[in-house]
A and B are shown apart, each in its own frame.
Chain A
Amino acid sequence: MPAPLLPVGSWHRLDHAGLQAVVDVLWSAGHRVVGPQVADGAIVIRDLRGVAELPTGWLDDQDGGSYRLRYDPAAGTFDHVVGPHSLKNFLFPARETIASFVQLDGSWSQTPPPAQAPPLAVLGVRGCDLAALAIQDRVFLGSGYVDEAYKQRREKLFLVAVNCRRAAATCFCHSMGSGPAAGPGFDLALTEIEGGFTCEVGSHRGAAVLAEAVAAGAALGGCSTEDVEAAREVSQALATRMHARQQVGGEPKPRSLDTHGIRDLLMTNLEHPRWDEVAARCLSCTNCTLVCPTCFCSSVQEVADLSGDHVDRERQWASCFSLDHARMHGHSVRSSTAARYRQWLTHKFAGWIDQFDTSGCTGCGRCITWCPVGIDVTEEIAAIRATAGGGASQADASQPGEAAS
């Protein structure tokens, strides 16, 4: 069958076999394909060869400090939300060699960077994580200096997004404007419907891959205007429920965050007593920064081989919750947990706006779920807002934002 012409912005119907054909095309073109799978009691992002490996029927119940999987035969393939992994694990890996040096006859020289890994294709990317990717792009590509390895991975990245039709109790993407609908930035976007998916073409590469899948035998159905409307309504209905903070079918109600004047609110409350209050609960464990899809701090370690003549400079994720982060001459600038928590929260929700003209938060809720003591950013910010000093609280009072939890 000849490859059909599939314009960017067009919608189609795709069944599970069709999605498998898409995976096959990406695989054949040399992509490493990864997607959500059940492993170790969580839905993580792993190498994937077949759509049968996707977590069909699995749901994740998430809350502060709690993550549990539950099987529901009525659940679809993508009715789970986000797990501990995000695109960050692949685009900005936890460990990466950023420079190498070799010693010969007593002199060192820098060797060229290693060859790049194959292009990556990711299945099941949500709106919050597409937003997180756009935020990391600003850090590594848009702030003057370009991180070459990130750039190469980013340029070759193929993204199959999913429009969410379910939210966890930790989700607040609607408050941060990043979801539950996916986009922009995807190559293909799926909405789960009875018997398969609708598939929106988001890029020329997406169109080419889908066309090849059809050429290889995938059955691509047409979408009427009504079908497109119905697909759009899936995420729209969820967004409406999230904004109204409605509970649906035994699911706990999603969180919410009032972002009104949030930068000034936080920067005029740097000495608010809440920082000490939250520090009494915070273990400074760094979990929140590790699961956060936008946290970008890193340090560099020297890794030498046994001869000592080959040295790799290895970049590793760092966390503002560790004492080493702000260490100078043997002491840490932020020696208290209160100062470190304040650094994280104010950077994420305030400093980021100055630095990158965007919030550093997408409302994915990972930091709430994976905090061992269930510290909840939406609750902490609401507490500061409720008892704010400075000028922010008065300024905000006249402009009601969303109700805080």
Chain B
Amino acid sequence: MSGPSSDAASRENPWRSHAARIRSIVPESPGVQTYELEFEEVLVRDSYRFAAGQFNMLYLPGIGEAAISVSSNPADRSSLAHTVRAVGNVTDALARLGLGGQVFVRGPFGTPWPVTDVIDRNVVIVAGGLGLASQRAAILFLMAERACRSVTVLHGAKRPEGLLYGREYDAWRAAGVAVHTIVNEADASWSGPVGLVTDLLTDALRDPSATTILCCGPDPMMVGVAKAAIGRGVAADDVFLSLERNMACAVAHCGLCQFGPLFVCRDGPVLPYERIADLMRIPQM
């Protein structure tokens, strides 16, 4: 937890949710949109803080709640964005809401990306599909705060239209961020590389001992990235993965997100690979 006020409020009653309105909607890829939210209460707006990599529980009364990473820059107090794929009850209903629609927010919850102690590191961000949403918060923070030596983004998607935030790449590159994309299945529009995101890793790891990996995507992809990075000399405790699991409470009470001894909502979602490598090896853990 990062914000003192929102933190205190959450600890009073973890089920307390704060009303917000949708201020803008940006289509990102088929079925995926970024929702800019603004809290209705000024007090909440002013006190709410989050860290890159943390998530909120977005709630629609009568529909349900979903855990969604914050995808905006935590240092930019004017923005609170969530990039969401419509894949279920809650996210489908969110997609139908439109501008001004009301969304309730509980959070922030979980562990952040380690973006505040990488000042002399090369940060390599490896994202599979929608995984880039939680990392966008880290990218924007690292760019704006000049918080590391270099930022490289390796973004893979199944098809070209699944790549996220394409309209922002020019601005990221202008700020010194290296952005490389790859797809599994090319179409006529695609002139870039075809393959897996791990294929991009070799070129990005020129100084492995000074590299920190932030990885988010499907479990098998993250394991592949972690093993490849470690194989090239990155330390296991410099590889961070963001896990996704079923969640109802986000405060280590409901038990649904358990992964071995970990509550992904509280001990994660961002975890050093070193801590979870043995568990990730076991099928259906």
Q: What is A's interface to B at a CB cutoff of 8 Å?
A: 98-99, 101, 103, 107-110, 113, 139-140, 143-148, 267, 270-271, 296-300, 302, 304, 308, 311, 313, 315, 318, 320, 324-330, 333-336, 338-339, 343, 346-347, 350-351, 353-355
Q: Given A107-B19, A140-B253, A147-B253, 20 more contacts at CB 8 Å?
A: A99-B15, A101-B61, A103-B61, A108-B61, A110-B104, A143-B252, A144-B252, A145-B251, A146-B11, A147-B14, A296-B253, A300-B64, A300-B254, A313-B15, A318-B254, A326-B256, A328-B246, A333-B245, A333-B285, A347-B258
- Contact check, A304 vs B62: say whether CB atoms are below 8 A apart: yes
Chain B residues within 8 Å of A108, by CB: 19, 61, 102, 104
Asked whether B23 is an interface residue with its Cβ less than 8 Å from the other chain, the reply is no
- Contact check, A311 vs B11: say whether CB atoms are below 8 A apart: no
Q: What is B's interface to A at a CB cutoff of 8 Å?
A: 10-17, 19, 61-65, 87-88, 102, 104, 244-246, 248-249, 251-256, 258, 260-261, 263, 266, 282-285
Chain B residues within 8 Å of A329, by CB: 87-88
Q: Nearest Cβ in chain A — how far from B192, in angstroms?
A: 27
Given A320-B255, A325-B256, A351-B260, verify A302-B284 contact (CB < 8 Å). Answer: no
Chain B residues within 8 Å of A350, by CB: 261
Given A99-B15, A297-B254, verify A270-B249 contact (CB < 8 Å). Answer: no
Q: Nearest Cβ in chain B — how far from A17, in angstroms?
A: 43
Chain A residues within 8 Å of B282, by CB: 270-271
A148 to B252, CA, bound (A): 14
Chain A residues within 8 Å of B14, by CB: 145-147
Chain A's closest residue to B282 (CB) is A270
- Contact check, B248 vs A300: say whether CB atoms are below 8 A apart: yes
- Contact check, B258 vs A351: say whether CB atoms are below 8 A apart: yes
Chain A residues within 8 Å of B13, by CB: 113, 148
A297 to B252, CA, bound (A): 10
Chain A's closest residue to B16 (CB) is A110
Of B13, B15, B63, B249, chain A has the most CB atoms within 10 Å of the CB of B15
Could you tell me the dominant secondary structure of chain A's interface residues? Answer: mixed
Q: Nearest Cβ in chain B — how far from A135, in angstroms?
A: 13
Chain B residues within 8 Å of A140, by CB: 253
Chain B's closest residue to A346 (CB) is B260
Q: Nearest Cβ in chain B — how far from A268, in angstroms?
A: 9
Q: Which of A311, A315, A343 contacts B61 (CB 8 A)?
A: A311
Chain A's closest residue to B1 (CB) is A144
Q: Which of A143, A267, A271, A297 contacts B256 (CB 8 A)?
A: A297
Q: Nearest Cβ in chain A — how far from B53, in angstroms?
A: 18
A395 to B171, CA, bound (A): 58
- Contact check, B253 vs A355: say whether CB atoms are below 8 A apart: no
Given A101-B61, A320-B255, A336-B284, verify A328-B102 contact (CB < 8 Å). Answer: no
Of B15, B61, B62, chain A has the most CB atoms within 10 Å of the CB of B61
Given A145-B11, A334-B284, A335-B284, verify A351-B253 contact (CB < 8 Å). Answer: no
- Contact check, A302 vs B258: say whether CB atoms are below 8 A apart: no
Chain B residues within 8 Å of A304, by CB: 62
- Contact check, A109 vs B284: say whether CB atoms are below 8 A apart: no
Chain B residues within 8 Å of A147, by CB: 14, 253
- Contact check, B11 vs A326: say whether CB atoms are below 8 A apart: no
Chain B residues within 8 Å of A326, by CB: 245-246, 256
Chain B residues within 8 Å of A99, by CB: 15-17
A197 to B126, CA, bound (A): 68
Chain B's closest residue to A275 (CB) is B284
Chain B's closest residue to A92 (CB) is B253
- Contact check, A302 vs B63: say whether CB atoms are below 8 A apart: yes
A99 to B15, CA, bound (A): 6
- Contact check, B258 vs A110: say whether CB atoms are below 8 A apart: no
- Contact check, A302 vs B62: say whether CB atoms are below 8 A apart: yes
A70 to B10, CA, bound (A): 50
Q: Which of B17, B63, B246 contacts A327 (CB 8 A)?
A: B246
A312 to B266, CA, bound (A): 25
Chain B residues within 8 Å of A148, by CB: 12-13
Q: Which of B10, B12, B256, B260 contacts A318 (CB 8 A)?
A: B256
A-B contact pairs, 21 of them (CB 8 A): A101-B61, A107-B102, A110-B16, A110-B17, A140-B253, A143-B252, A144-B252, A148-B13, A270-B285, A271-B282, A298-B249, A300-B248, A300-B249, A302-B62, A302-B63, A302-B64, A318-B248, A326-B246, A328-B245, A335-B284, A355-B261
Given A270-B285, A311-B62, A336-B284, verify A139-B253 contact (CB < 8 Å). Answer: yes
Chain A residues within 8 Å of B10, by CB: 145
A315 to B65, CA, bound (A): 13
A243 to B109, CA, bound (A): 46
- Contact check, A343 vs B249: say whether CB atoms are below 8 A apart: no
A326 to B284, CA, bound (A): 10
Given A99-B17, A304-B62, verify A144-B266 contact (CB < 8 Å). Answer: yes
Chain B residues within 8 Å of A347, by CB: 258
Chain A residues within 8 Å of B263, by CB: 355
